[in-house]
Structure 1
């Protein structure tokens, strides 16, 4: 079996589009199509259904693609084993947030790159946050991703705990509740809120917790970068409730604990059998016990 053909098939499976797959593997579309056809002939099974509606994995393809990933990873591990220095190789695709909270993620990534220069490191974001990352890791488009949703939102994936935080209210300094030791969540029910878009882990967890108290918020402003939310609160555009690790210290904003404790956990997610590069990267993320 040709490794390049396996790379083509995996790219098509993840993109569900031959043109995008070809662009990703730096080949022309005809070469990718021919390579996938040759692989299907060798395997004696169609990996994809192709019609005017697009490209879809067949039932056989759903079984074959994970095996092709294992095939490529085995080749990478063999090269690492043969290297006297044991240098890691291969591609590593990581899903990251725009705001890193207490993590010096650029330094962690930089240290990993310097320690493993033969790993082709690719960083990706998701317009729908953790929900998108779960799909991307499940489908193999990412190897590792930061994740802010409960484990039930990532079935079949492995969770690597990184940090926990408690939600706090962010209020303008002139807000009537700014001087309270604790603010009742019911007292904020009618406020105009600033939050991340739907699908982001912190918003999903908070909405579920508030829903259990019968509270449905008016999200007046959605901001894709969590770190900017306190500045919008300072500008008087509304209030916010965020994990304290993302709340920051912004002039004109006070952090007030809620009257109920709502917890949030930051994890990294991988497939159950991550590549060697993914395992090494997660080891750098996970804080020492």
Structure 2
């Protein structure tokens, strides 16, 4: 079984097209098709249902895809070890970052600039997206590491290393009926109109679970894919929101009110797959992230967390 055949199989599965897979692998379509046919012949199975317009995995193909990814990952780890023995760290690391909100106390551009200076032969590919999507891509082998804001219960088959945590608070316009309060309970917010992030974002998952734990239903009228825009919706009186304090500009005309019970925490972690070893390059970047987060947290004089990191 050749690794290039596995690579072709995985790429066709991800692209849903032999043509797009060829473009991604810098191969002609016929070469990709031949690689997949050779793999099917060797395994004695059909991996794809092919029609004029659609290429879909068979049930067998879906079962074998995860194993193919694990096999390629193991091969990459072996290459990384050999590279280290020859005096240099090389390879590609696929890093997931959260959409539109950087993790507290860590600057990803500064982190990557320092990492590139020390390891110039390691390429870091950034994938921007939601925490739930990153979790899925980590499990399926499309990412090596990812920043996520998931509770542990939503992080099946992943290892979470805590980076930072904040207790989320109610954000409301300065003229809102609750703006003058020191604290509120979630049941007092049942009739409010909320702005929040999409359902697969880690922050939204945590807030939804807090309301479920409190036995309170709420209405999310505005789904916004940008934390700063959520603050603007609050500022202009269109909605209230539950947000990490760090995303609210002190100059904004927005009040932050403490939530007394069931207050969700915005806990940022770096997630890795629990069922496979990291490549040397990915492991080295993980160590750099841990070191950088600890240093920036120490410089900020803020604690790792308040509240539950799970």
Interval containing the TM-score (normalised by the shorter chain): 0.7 to 0.9
Provide the C-alpha distance between the structure 2 equivalents of 1:191 and 1:58, rounded to a whole number of angstroms.
44
Question: Who is 1:269 aligned against?
Answer: 271
Q: Following superposition of structure 1 onto structure 2, how do residues 116-127 of structure 1 map, counting pairs within 5 Å? A: 116-126=119-129
Change (3 A) 1:29 1:240: same
Deviation at 1:157, TM superposition (A): 1.8
Provide the C-alpha distance between the structure 2 equivalents of 1:96 and 1:179, rounded to a whole number of angstroms.
36
| 2:14 is the counterpart of 1:20 | no
Runs of 4+ in 1 over 4 A off after TM superposition: none
Change (3 A) 1:124 1:47: farther
Provide the C-alpha distance between the structure 2 equivalents of 1:164 and 1:25, rounded to a whole number of angstroms.
40
| 2:115 is the counterpart of 1:112 | yes
Provide the C-alpha distance between the structure 2 equivalents of 1:9 and 1:149, rounded to a whole number of angstroms.
31
Q: Following superposition of structure 1 onto structure 2, how do residues 206-221 of structure 1 map, counting pairs within 5 Å? A: 206-221=207-222
- Bigger CA drift: 257-266 or 3-12? 3-12
Deviation at 1:2, TM superposition (A): 4.7
Structure 1 residues 140-181: Cα deviation after superposition (integer angstroms, max 9, x where no partner):
111111111122222212212111111101111111211211
Structure 1 residues 228-270: Cα deviation after superposition (integer angstroms, max 9, x where no partner):
3212211221111012333343421111111223223211111
Aligned residues: 283
Deviation at 1:13, TM superposition (A): 4.1
Question: Who is 2:297 aligned against?
Answer: none
Provide the C-alpha distance between the structure 1 equivalents of 2:72 and 2:5, rounded to a whole number of angstroms.
10
Alignment TM-score, normalising by the size of structure 1: 0.88
Structure 2 unaligned spans of 5+:
295-303, 305-310
Structure 1 residues 87-145: Cα deviation after superposition (integer angstroms, max 9, x where no partner):
x211211111221142212211222222222122211122xx11111111111111111
Query: Does the residue aligned with 1:237 lie in a helix, a strand or coil?
Result: coil
Deviation at 1:206, TM superposition (A): 0.8
Change (3 A) 1:171 1:266: same
| 2:72 is the counterpart of 1:72 | no
Structure 1 residues 169-225: Cα deviation after superposition (integer angstroms, max 9, x where no partner):
111111121121112222222111111011111111111111222222211211111
Question: Who is 2:49 aligned against?
Answer: 50
Q: Following superposition of structure 1 onto structure 2, how do residues 243-254 of structure 1 map, counting pairs within 5 Å? A: 243-254=244-255
User: Contact 2:80–2:281 at 8 Å: present in 1 too?
Assistant: no
Alignment TM-score, normalising by the size of structure 2: 0.82
Question: Who is 1:148 aligned against?
Answer: 149
Deviation at 1:8, TM superposition (A): 2.4
| CA RMSD, Structure 1 to Structure 2 (Å) | 2.3
